[in-house]
Amino acid sequence: MTKSEFISDDYKPTGKPFDDVEEVLAKLTDKQKCQLLAGKDFWTTNAVPELNVPSIRVSDGPNGIRGRNFFRPTPAACFPCGTALGSTWDTELLERAGKLMAVEAKAKGAHVILGPTLNIQRSPLGGRGFESFSEDSVLSGLSAGAISKGIQSEGIQATLKHFVCNDQEHERNSVNVLVTERALREIYLLPFQLAIRDGAPGAIMTAYNKVNGISASQNAKLLKNILRDEWKWDGLVMSDWFGVYSVADSVKNGLDLEMPGPSNWRGRLLEGSLVSKQIAHHEVDERVRQVLKFVQRAHAESGIPEDAPEITRDTPETRRLLREIAADSIVVLKNENNVLPLSKNKKTAVIGPNGKITTYCGGGSASLKPYYTVSPFEGISQKLSETPLYTLGVNTFKELPLIGKDLVDPRGNVGFEAKVYDGPRTDKGRKHLDTYYLSDSHIFMPDYAPTKEFKAFYFDIEGYLTPESDGTYIFGVTVSGTAKLYIDDQLVVDNETKQTKGTSFFNCGTIEEKNTIELKKGQKYKINLFYGSSHTSTIEQDAGLSFGGGIRLGYIKQVSVEDEIRKAVEIAQSVDQVILTLGLNSDWESEGYDRDSMAYPPNVDALVKAVRKVNKNIVVVNQSGTPVTLDFHNEVPAIVQAWYGGNETGNAIADVIFGDVNPSGKLPLTYPDRLEDNPAYLSFRAENGRTLYSEDVYVGYKYYDTVKTKPLYPFGHGLSYTTFDYGKAKAKVVGDNVIITIDVTNSGNLDGKETVQAYISQAKPSIRRPVKELKGFTKLSIPAGQTKQAEITIPIKYATSYWHEIRDQWISEADDYTVHIGQSSESIVSTTNFSTEKTFFWSGI
């Protein structure tokens, strides 16, 4: 990819906003300094116009650039989720992805991207596991480094997050993570260390949690001793949103910027701390200096002016790259009897809840409004000579499917009308403030206020629903605020009179209140929702998080499980091949809460087994950000792990299952047979305010190797439609590096890509170490019948070292080391050896 493919001439560097950081710092008043250390609002920093200090804009996130609005956002390019990006094992491709993320940031007027996410998938249950790359520190770090390098190359600042050990959502703001120094260094800090080394990110975001008793946002060991002093990193440290818990300590210990604004802890409180000498002027100056340097760099390198407009850049080049990334991320787990690729000329059925609904991303701050989406059914239909049959099979929703696009507003367009008032409908003198026409009935408003002086506001929502069939329909309302739902003036759902706290809207909302009503086919029904903002809520609010509030309105026709499975069986009997589209969605995997189990939603296994009885030509396409329990594994011949694939989800799935793309994705995490096998099983979630990382350095495959437990699918596993033969591996020490080479031959009749994985083990370590550890990898594109040489260069210190807790340094011991070349952590195809002559200790990058 060249820069000209994505960057237009609209973006020209504008030069430095001010010339001299020290000169500006000397002229700032104490009040101005304190203001600079906190955000102005949800997405921008404070400016000092009289000194030519502009504000900068930040934007979520890890799989696409939302822009500044949760409410009525500008459409954006949605990339595959973090786990999908990690499953490409392709740093060149990820660098190109980073460049495109930067282009998207420029289109959204953002100087800073709040991503990538580097936390470790120590359990399949982590609510934000889909945002992260891997269970492995090296794969995570090299992936994030490549994306950061791409982002930074276009003048946009990347933000590594969440520093560090934010690996669960349960009690994330308060939990104390207890972790050994060795595990902290080898597993949880190492990805950040590698990403800083390779990607030079401009910013780092602190985690919500405590690490060994001290909150990450005021942890001097993490922010000063390691990040600044040891690693010599000179970027900006910002908090996660509302993740600051002190005035003086966070400033003293290295947190530069509190987000969002207006400030909870800085501003006037920090001014008071200066006056009372709870904090010294030079300590504040150091934080302000970092903010000024960052603002200067972000403006000069990006060329984005203050308060730039948000635009969309849905170009053919963007679509092609998103499709390439999504297809390369897909992992073929199983392919008995070469069921895959499927034929484009056979009669086909698509069965399953993920078929016609595009599950393109997980929930929380990673979510965004995509330019477009392509469902698996749409992608598959475009490949076939005859439109496939479809049926739902089974419902797998956690919350009812959104109703918005099934409504018609009073103008006759798809969606609904939302009128905003300054009082409830019982207030005859209320003022009409605004009118919006929307189609998404999931409305999150942390950044919305209809007037400058923010106070409670009210939505009167109106739309019209015409059911396609008679039946009993379930309606559900979830709010941060209060709401009542009426259908033809009949109260159907009351989420105002009595409310129950749930996990919705970042734990600021209610559970979904539901009720049923009988509706007739073809009859037009008036739908009214009367909503009051978060200020009207009767449930306890998490401080500051919800602001305006949120609405989620869903519905579905009530169906019989038995009837739906019977329909699926009838269709499966009538076709040559069946594609079962299953999985989770953003209701199940989201920021704010963790999953309770690895299990599929109810009745999925029954559906698969019923269909299998009548058709042996089945492919299961599973979409999830982390592993699910595949109880039907032995019942079906082919299983494809498709993740959350972004805008191009359906096209990418179709490209792989019909063979237009030869699959090359490899698992970035271990797929356990059951949750109980996961090494974090006994120590995931908080207990009495703490989480003990009891698996220590034995995360993921390192644990399975050590205890000799075979998972369902190993780390690094993934099948191709061609075959690869490996030669004999060689390793030699050249200077400070070990260089590993091996010939790889594409022995099949299709062009393909292969990831060569290099694991290293020590012969006689002085302490117990994992059986082997991933230390490097490379991905080769090899035409059919040809041979290419893989070369992997790894610095000796990274290839051999472990953390020495007594010396508080890395140690590389003089010893013999074995290189294990694998197609996965289990499938080792060649080994070789190298030796080091002396023991040495080291620190830093």
For the annotated catalytic residues, the residue numbers are 240
| Distance from C-alpha of 5 to C-alpha of 836, rounded to nearest angstrom | 46
| Distance from C-alpha of 757 to C-alpha of 826, rounded to nearest angstrom | 11
Peptide bond into 376 cis (omega under 30): no
| Distance from C-alpha of 379 to C-alpha of 649, rounded to nearest angstrom | 8
Contacts of 655 (CB under 8 A, 6+ apart): 323, 327, 379, 661
Q: Locate 468 and state its tokens.
A: 């396609």
DSSP single-letter state for residue 76: B
Q: Locate 184 and state its tokens.
A: 């902290």
| Distance from C-alpha of 710 to C-alpha of 638, rounded to nearest angstrom | 20
Q: Is 365 exposed, middle or buried, given 0-12, 13-18 or 19+ CB atoms closer than 10 A? A: buried
149-175 burial, b at 16+ Cβ within 10 Å, e below that, comes to bbbbbbbbbbbbbbbbbbbbbebbbeb
Q: Is 797 exposed, middle or buried, given 0-12, 13-18 or 19+ CB atoms closer than 10 A? A: middle
| Distance from C-alpha of 101 to C-alpha of 113, rounded to nearest angstrom | 8
Contacts of 571 (CB under 8 A, 6+ apart): 349, 351, 389, 390, 391
| Distance from C-alpha of 369 to C-alpha of 519, rounded to nearest angstrom | 31
User: Which residue do the tokens 């502009």 mark?
Assistant: 54
Nearest Cα to Cα of residue 343 among 694, 624, 578: 578
| Distance from C-alpha of 777 to C-alpha of 718, rounded to nearest angstrom | 15
DSSP single-letter state for residue 207: -
| Distance from C-alpha of 350 to C-alpha of 581, rounded to nearest angstrom | 7
* Long-range residue pairs from 403-406, CB within 8 A, at least 24 positions apart, any chain: 403/441, 403/463, 403/465, 403/475, 403/527, 403/553, 403/554, 403/555, 404/438, 404/439, 404/440, 404/441, 404/442, 404/463, 404/553, 405/439, 405/440, 406/465, 406/555
The H-assigned helical ranges of 622-738 are 649-657, 701-707
Nearest Cα to Cα of residue 32 among 21, 16, 46: 46
Strand order from edge to edge, sheet including 442-444: 442-444, 550-557, 471-480, 513-519
Residue 635 has phi, psi (to 5 degrees) of -90, -20
Asked if 231 and 193 touch (Cβ cutoff 8 Å), the reply is yes
